[in-house]
């Protein structure tokens, strides 16, 4: 099974560092990207959507605390859960710079409580098995060659009866030809194009964006078969497909014999709420007690870590993991040197 390459991980880190410098510091490093005012408006819209969706899940009786948000970026959605939904959890991302920017956005949106921020690799989640009742992510799983190994990791960490929710992920367009490459996703030409041009781009253009230029995976060709494989570990699956905004249908059961084939051919976005088999516990460990040593995990040993001074230490092997500017780094020592050599020098 294909996994995310080291180069793709480095691309995420470099690109998002530039993005943070541009959108917080006003240093223009990347063409055709949202500026400070534009991204702040978008983040506010995302926060409102997150509040509505996660509130609806809670109303259905789904435990949402403690939570882990995978691919949290700036942490704006985790800020909503911490401050507006009175939960506790982790904003998890491979980009230190994005997680660090959470402090700015917390101040901007008047959110007093920060999430616990962890910089690590979603391919190897540094959490003990069967410990966390709720995972969620938005626009994250398509940054991997396939979502299967990431979803498998989430399933491992979920408590029995725990839930995974995700939204705004793509599934493959069958009726599509790459006849030309369109302008970059956030360029003025793309944002202001006519309805006809949007339709032409949707069916006949190849994607172009700054992420791809930096080596980041933008996998818009995840087939529905691949998504089904990702959902296999779960006992309950509530999956919805949306095409061209207005066509929405469940993946299964296929209630409408016409809408599913249309969505299958046109492609679009997929969202899901999946439940792990078993009975949900009556109480849960504090999120700090769910952390696991990534180095021991590579040796197929699950060992917890604990706070010692200004770092976290493994109970089994004794390795320490640094907290840098309020963010815990949970990479193996080798991976930390590979992805964040400047941090190793500083600490």
Residue 164 has what pLDDT?
98
With a pLDDT cut of 90, the percent of the chain lying above it is: 80
Please state the rounded mean pLDDT for residues 76-105: 98
Q: Place 201 in a pLDDT band, splitting at 50, 70 and 90.
A: confident
46, 105 contact by CB (below 8 A): no
Question: What's the pLDDT at 148?
Answer: 97
Q: What is the pLDDT, as a whole number, of residue 166?
A: 98
pLDDT for res 224: 95
Q: What is the pLDDT of residues 52-80, one digit of tens each?
A: 999 999 999 999 999 999 999 999 999 99
Q: Residue 111: is its pLDDT beyond 90?
A: yes
Of the two residues 184 and 338, the one the predictor is more confident about is 338
Q: Does pLDDT of 273 surpass 90?
A: yes
Percent of the chain with pLDDT over 70: 99
**Gap between the Cα atoms of 83 and 203, Å rounded:** 41
- Cβ-Cβ contacts under 8 Å for 232 (sequence gap 6 or more): none
The predicted model gives 204-213 an average pLDDT of: 88
pTM of the model as a whole: 0.95
pLDDT at 1: 66
Pairing verdict, β 311-314 and 320-324: antiparallel
**pLDDT value at residue 19:** 95
Please compute the mean of the pLDDT values over residues 333-344 and round it to a whole number: 92
The confidence band for 188, taking pLDDT boundaries of 50, 70 and 90, is: confident
Query: DSSP string of 216-256?
Result: --------HHHHHHHHTT-SEEEEEEEETTTEEEESSS---
Q: Greater confidence, 186 or 222?
A: 222
Least confident of 82-91, 193-202, 212-221: 193-202
- Gap between the Cα atoms of 4 and 335, Å rounded: 14
pLDDT tens for each residue of 261-271 = 999 999 999 99
pLDDT of residue 207: 82
- Residues 236-242 have a mean pLDDT of 96
Distance (Å, rounded) from C-alpha 92 to C-alpha 231? 21
- Kindly tell me if the per-residue pLDDT of 342 is higher than 90: no
For the chain, what is the mean pLDDT?
94
The domains of the chain are located at 6-171+211-290
CATH of domain 6-171+211-290: 3.40.50.150
Written as six digits, the tokens of 119 are 């910089």
Give the pLDDT band of residue 191 (cuts 50, 70, 90): confident
Q: Which of 37-51, 193-207, 295-309 has the lowest mean pLDDT?
A: 193-207
Q: Residue 347 — very low, low, confident or very high, per pLDDT cuts 50/70/90?
A: low
If DSSP states are collapsed to H, E and C, what string results for 19-73? HHHHHHHCCCCCCCCCCHHHHHHHHHHHHHHHHHHHHHHHHCCCCCCCEEEECCC
């Amino acid at each position: 099974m294909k996994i995310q390459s080291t180069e793709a991980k480095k691309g995420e880190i470099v690109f998002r560092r530039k993005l943070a410098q541009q959108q917080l510091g006003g240093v223009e490093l990347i063409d055709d990207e949202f500026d400070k005012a534009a991204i702040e408006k978008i983040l506010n819209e995302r926060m409102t959507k997150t509040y509505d969706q996660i509130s609806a899940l809670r109303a259905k009786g789904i435990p949402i605390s403690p939570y882990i948000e995978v691919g949290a970026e700036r942490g704006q959605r985790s800020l909503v859960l911490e401050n507006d939904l009175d939960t506790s959890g982790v904003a998890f991302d491979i980009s230190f710079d994005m997680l660090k920017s959470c402090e700015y956005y917390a101040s901007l949106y008047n959110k007093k409580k920060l999430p616990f921020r962890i910089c690590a690799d979603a391919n190897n989640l540094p959490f003990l098995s069967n410990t966390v009742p709720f995972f969620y992510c938005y626009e994250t799983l398509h940054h991997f060659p396939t979502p299967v190994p990431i979803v498998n990791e989430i399933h491992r960490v979920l408590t029995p009866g725990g839930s995974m929710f995700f939204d705004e992920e793509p599934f493959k367009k069958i009726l599509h030809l790459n006849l030309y490459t369109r302008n970059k996703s956030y360029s003025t030409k793309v944002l202001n194009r006519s309805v006809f041009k949007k339709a032409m781009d949707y069916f006949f253009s190849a994607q172009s964006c700054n992420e791809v230029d930096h080596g980041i995976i933008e996998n818009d060709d995840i087939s529905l078969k691949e998504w089904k494989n990702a959902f296999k570990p779960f006992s309950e699956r509530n999956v919805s497909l949306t095409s061209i905004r207005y066509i929405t249908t469940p993946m299964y059961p296929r209630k409408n014999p016409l809408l599913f084939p249309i969505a299958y051919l046109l492609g679009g976005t997929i969202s899901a709420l999946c439940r792990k088999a078993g009975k949900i516990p009556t109480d849960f460990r504090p999120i700090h007690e769910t952390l696991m040593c990534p180095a021991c995990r590579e040796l197929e040993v699950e060992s917890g870590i604990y706070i010692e001074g200004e770092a976290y230490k493994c109970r089994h092997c004794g390795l320490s993991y640094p907290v840098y500017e309020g963010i815990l780094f949970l990479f193996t020592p080798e991976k930390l040197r590979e992805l964040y050599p400047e941090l190793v020098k500083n600490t």
